[in-house]
């Protein structure tokens, strides 16, 4: 797994983002994304820069039940 942890580069990027005066809301749909954002503190790092990250409804692969998949297949077969 590739890991990029360069405090100097991160500080420089955050400094530039703060200067931009952003007011952004970003939503992601993947639980793995949320895990990574929280694990490495990216959500807390970006919020003072005017970038708020919100967790969305979930990845379709992760949140779709077996029954919903079966119903979708039945509908697809019916045309």
With a cut of 60, say whether residue 2 has pLDDT above it.
no
- 1 found inside a domain: no
Q: What are the tens digits of pLDDT across the range 52-71?
A: 998 888 777 777 888 988 99
pLDDT value for 16: 95
Q: What integer pLDDT is reported at residue 3 of this predicted model?
A: 60
The range of the structural domain enclosing residue 12 comes to 7-78
Q: Which of the four pLDDT bands, split at 50, 70 and 90, describes residue 1?
A: very low
Give the number of domains in the chain: 1
pLDDT at residue 72 is higher than 70:
yes
In a domain, 18, yes or no: yes
Contact yes or no for 17/49 (Cβ under 8 A): yes
Give the DSSP per-residue string, 29-51.
--HHHHHHHHHTTHHHHHGGGTE
Q: What is the pLDDT of residues 4-35, one digit of tens each?
A: 678 888 889 999 999 999 999 998 888 888 88
Asked if residue 2 is part of any domain, the answer here is: no
Closest CA to 28 of 20, 18, 16, 36: 36
């Amino acid at each position: 797994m590739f890991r990029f942890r360069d405090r100097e580069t991160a500080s420089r990027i955050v400094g530039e983002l703060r200067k931009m005066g952003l007011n952004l809301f970003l939503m992601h749909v993947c639980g793995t994304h949320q895990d990574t954002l929280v694990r490495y503190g990216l959500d807390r790092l970006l919020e003072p820069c005017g970038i708020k990250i919100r967790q969305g409804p979930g990845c379709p692969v992760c949140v779709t039940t077996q029954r919903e998949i079966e119903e979708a297949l039945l509908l697809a077969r019916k045309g």
